[in-house]
Structure 1
């Protein structure tokens, strides 16, 4: 964990080209170009479908019987399983879990609650396929982290069995933008401005209440959710989203672990191979997921 690595990552984000008034298509193309990284060689990637939506199946050569549902970030407006193949496949490989990365519908074409509906449909489809809930885990980054938590809430409220656990990286869980770090981390965050985050929220909500629980899970009743691991960097506007989510989960008797790495940005895990903290965080997340999936495999009555 070197200062030079952190400084290089910070400079990479601060020096990224900025295009004035880009179209939505240009934003999506730029996001894909900046973020897309291949997965490790030991992970087979193929196109599939889950819950009526396209998806990528990421299967490590060493995969066991557990299953991971991954939900990508991008402010509910940008991104796809393709843009997040690198981080999802890294997690799949390290956890030795077959992973399905869902191509949920994006705003503004499909505003809230379309993404939550797709997340719930995917979760239900995995159960219908015969995946045991004790062997099923979820993960997501940024908006995908918020969506992972919303999917857990929606599954609980639908009476579905809960999975074994979930990991969220820099989760966006407050679309009211009410966290203090939205102002206190303005200079530290090399990626976002409050105005940029507000634009994503505006697209996604389409005039709906930003405080409703499935849009902003930090305001939700989290009782009955599975164990959570919440990771964030200290140099991000959404730091307080992670902190308050963990506090809310703890208050609602959820087994939760919060880890904040100093002086790294939003979803720093994307810098695996270049930033020691990213690899450390992915290893921690993989251990968390694999331990819980393996516990499900070893449970009484498991085949």
Structure 2
């Protein structure tokens, strides 16, 4: 593990990051507006869009390709995008040449999963109409990753729009109730995620849906016909046991290719910290999207 990643993990432990997140989930801040066009680097062009009052941006650098990433930010379905969300979008646009649309879907506790999926479907449909020549890719981290994988299943079932070419997720939340018994073992090393606070946030996000409904817990859905999916998780986070369960299904699926990469010694959603490991993860994701020799 690089020095930057090691320091980040130590700071998270010493700073009691899990307790801080628990407090944030209990009283989520609103109005940070880190996706304000004026906050983006001048190296990208920014276009805003609106879906039923929910905000999104599409950015691109000087020479955008017809490769378009729909990015769903994490935050336990509760917390607003951070400065790091914006920086990741800028990196993908400026250095990797993608168009990047970041959509702030409805958040809990004000809204539920049904609202999030409804708005995401409208956003995806609208983007495809506006950029008909683009190949679309889906990317999400943490709850954004969980939503991306649930959305793939909804999109396939509706059958009204083309599926994304490929999907990549980092530290996805696959079971909203976090019931895997192995989580207790991983809880000893996870210095970021507060288990009980997440379970409570998950209950609020479910709204009228049951815990095992695929729209909130994609792990329990039908995984056939979803296309190529690249999944990352760290060996020291409580979301990994469910990622391992999903990886076990990989060889039995039709129309879906699951590639699972486990980050040795890595903590939850490490892409939020600039480091050698983060750079490597994004290089793999971009090469995967481009069909380059990446493994």
TM-score when normalising by structure 1: 0.83
Secondary structure, in 3 states, of the residue corresponding to 2:69?
strand
What is the CA-CA distance between 1:262 and the residue it aligns to? 0.9
**Is 57-66 or 220-229 further displaced after alignment?**
57-66
What is the CA-CA distance between 1:94 and the residue it aligns to? 4.2
Deviations 1:99-151 (A, max 9, x none): 10001101111112111222222221122224357x11110000000111111
**Is 225-234 or 46-55 further displaced after alignment?**
46-55
Kept in 2: contact 1:76–1:115 (CA 8 A):
no
**Is 148-157 or 46-55 further displaced after alignment?**
46-55
User: How far apart, in 1, do the equivalents of 2:246 and 2:93 lie?
Assistant: 25
- The match for 1:155 is 155
Q: Relative to 1, partners in 2 of residues 1:96 and 1:179: Cα closer, same or farther, differing over 3 Å?
A: farther
- The match for 2:268 is 266
What is the CA-CA distance between 1:256 and the residue it aligns to? 1.7
Deviations 1:32-66 (A, max 9, x none): 99xxxx77764334433357631022212232112
Kept in 2: contact 1:77–1:203 (CA 8 A):
no
Matches for 1:82-231 after TM superposition, within 5 Å? 84-132=85-133, 135-159=135-159, 160-206=161-207, 208-231=209-232
Kept in 2: contact 1:31–1:78 (CA 8 A):
no
- The match for 2:234 is 233
| Count of residues in correspondence between the two structures | 284
Deviations 1:241-260 (A, max 9, x none): 32223333442231121111
Structure 1 regions of 5+ residues with no counterpart?
A: 293-303
Structure 2 regions of 5+ residues with no counterpart?
A: none
**Is 192-201 or 16-25 further displaced after alignment?**
16-25
User: How far apart, in 2, do the equivalents of 1:85 and 1:249 lie?
Assistant: 32
User: How far apart, in 1, do the equivalents of 2:116 and 2:71 lie?
Assistant: 13
**Is 263-272 or 14-23 further displaced after alignment?**
14-23
Deviations 1:270-297 (A, max 9, x none): 112xx211110011111112338xxxxx
Q: Relative to 1, partners in 2 of residues 1:26 and 1:193: Cα closer, same or farther, differing over 3 Å?
A: closer
- The match for 1:5 is 4
Q: Relative to 1, partners in 2 of residues 1:186 and 1:259: Cα closer, same or farther, differing over 3 Å?
A: same
Secondary structure, in 3 states, of the residue corresponding to 1:227?
strand
User: How far apart, in 1, do the equivalents of 2:4 and 2:261 lie?
Assistant: 19
- The match for 1:299 is none
What is the CA-CA distance between 1:93 and the residue it aligns to? 3.5
Kept in 2: contact 1:76–1:106 (CA 8 A):
yes
Q: Relative to 1, partners in 2 of residues 1:91 and 1:200: Cα closer, same or farther, differing over 3 Å?
A: farther
Q: Given the alignment of the two structures, is residue 257 of structure 1 paired with residue 284 of structure 2, yes or no?
A: no
What is the CA-CA distance between 1:28 and the residue it aligns to? 2.8
